[in-house]
């Protein structure tokens, strides 16, 4: 996945007369780290992206990159998205495979009444780099939705928390009139009805195969990434019987106290990471299946449905039943 994204970036830089070797040298990047079967760390992606921005001088570099990121060329992760049943499932898989798609961006789906927003929360970075990532993310999603479910774009808009560039109108060429600048956050807004639009290339059997392969690729990723990323991957690998912090520390060949200290240096703790994984999976189950609440509680390793309801209300502000009602899904509260 990252190998393909970097190749697309190299092609864009070549149009500006910047060679691949020059780019890697400027970023202090070892080409040996770039392999089709290896994921890069967020730090490596940041270094390469910042260098590309500086060398290209193209204010639209993120938009141009997003337009080139076609699902059919993204390997297993692209095929998993391509064979999804509905637009909502595509968005859920973006969250699930965030590490492989955009390790520097923390993607979230936020309910805002009649709409669902795909938001990106980026760790403090230079403004040009934050803008580059937001442009690439939303241009890629919009471009691929145009191929997968073109009618969905009538119910999609983009809000960006920075001003429009002084030159050109590429944002309007990509997003039409559905883009607004100087917003209070970056987000792609979907009407809830849009989430139910079917994907023409849907294939449930193939999709199950691709998803399982993607999960294996992530769990076997030879590049460690941050400690919080490693912990999250370990939690997702188990999915229904989540290991304790002591167990994960042992898997990562460290002590539990050292693991906690390293997480603290990254501004987090074990329990919030576990809550985040459970919440992420809960949304998948609530929106993508007809499982009853007590069944989801069991899958998420809660001792009772009541405990799951309380936790979900804390995470989302709604009970599981209220969430499904708001999403126009059949409620299965028992």
179 shares a domain with 69: yes
Q: Is the pTM of this model over 0.75?
A: no
- The span from the CA of 8 to the CA of 2, in Å, is 10
pLDDT: which is higher, 122 or 243: 243
Look at residue 60 and tell me if it is in a domain. Answer: yes
What the block records as the tokens of 331 is 């409620």
256 shares a domain with 146: no
pLDDT at 25 over 90: yes
- The span from the CA of 232 to the CA of 332, in Å, is 29
- The span from the CA of 207 to the CA of 108, in Å, is 22
pLDDT tens for 56-76 read 988 899 999 999 888 777 777
CB burial string 113-123: b at 16+ within 10 A, e below: eebbbbbbebe
237 shares a domain with 134: no
Look at residue 53 and tell me if it is in a domain. Answer: yes
Give the domain CATH number at 21. Answer: 3.90.1520
- The span from the CA of 74 to the CA of 101, in Å, is 9
Whole-number mean pLDDT of the chain?
Answer: 84
- The span from the CA of 94 to the CA of 96, in Å, is 5
DSSP letter, residue 162 = S
Backbone angles phi and psi of 189, in degrees to 5: -105, 130
How do the residues of the chain divide into helix, strand and coil, expressed in percent and rounded to 5? 60, 10, 30
Look at residue 123 and tell me if it is in a domain. Answer: yes
Where in the sequence is the domain holding 27, given as residue range(s)?
Answer: 2-196
pLDDT tens for 190-244 read 988 888 999 989 998 888 888 887 777 766 554 445 788 778 877 876 655 788 9
pLDDT at 78 over 70: yes
pLDDT grade, residue 1 (50/70/90)? low
Residues 116, 188 contacting (CB under 8 angstroms):
no
- pLDDT (0 to 100) of residue 240: 59
Look at residue 192 and tell me if it is in a domain. Answer: yes
Total domains in the chain come to 2
Query: What percentage of residues in the chain have a pLDDT greater than 90?
Result: 26
Look at residue 278 and tell me if it is in a domain. Answer: yes
Look at residue 333 and tell me if it is in a domain. Answer: no
């Amino acid at each position: 996945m990252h190998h393909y994204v970097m190749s697309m970036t190299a092609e864009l830089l070549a149009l500006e007369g910047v060679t691949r070797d020059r780019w890697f040298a400027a970023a202090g990047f070892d080409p040996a780290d770039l392999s089709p079967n290896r994921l890069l760390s967020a730090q490596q992606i940041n270094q390469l992206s910042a260098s590309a921005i500086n060398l290209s001088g193209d204010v639209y570099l993120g938009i141009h990159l997003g337009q080139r990121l076609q699902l059919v060329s993204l390997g297993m992760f692209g095929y998993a998205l391509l064979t999804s049943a509905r637009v909502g499932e595509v968005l859920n898989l973006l969250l699930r495979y965030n590490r492989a798609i955009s390790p520097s961006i923390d993607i979230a789906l936020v309910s805002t009444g009649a709409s669902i927003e795909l938001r990106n929360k980026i760790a403090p970075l230079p403004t040009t780099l934050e803008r580059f990532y937001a442009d690439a993310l939303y241009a890629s999603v919009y471009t691929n939705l145009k191929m997968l479910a073109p009618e969905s774009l009538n119910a999609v808009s983009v809000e960006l928390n920075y001003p429009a560039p002084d030159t050109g109108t590429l944002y309007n060429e990509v997003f039409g009139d559905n883009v607004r600048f100087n917003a209070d956050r970056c987000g792609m807004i979907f009407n809830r009805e849009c989430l139910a639009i079917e994907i023409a290339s849907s294939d449930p059997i193939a999709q199950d195969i691709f998803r399982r392969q993607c999960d294996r690729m992530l769990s076997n990723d030879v590049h460690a990434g941050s400690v919080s990323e490693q912990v999250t991957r370990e939690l997702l690998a188990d999915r229904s019987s989540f290991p304790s912090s002591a167990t994960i520390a042992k898997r990562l060949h460290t002590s539990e106290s050292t693991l906690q200290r390293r997480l603290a240096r990254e501004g987090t703790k074990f329990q919030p990471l576990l809550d985040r994984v459970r919440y992420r999976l809960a949304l998948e189950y609530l929106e993508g299946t007809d499982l009853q609440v007590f069944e989801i509680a069991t899958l998420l390793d809660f001792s009772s449905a009541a405990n799951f309801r309380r936790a979900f209300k804390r995470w989302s502000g709604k009970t599981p039943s209220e969430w499904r009602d708001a999403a126009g899904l059949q409620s299965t509260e028992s």
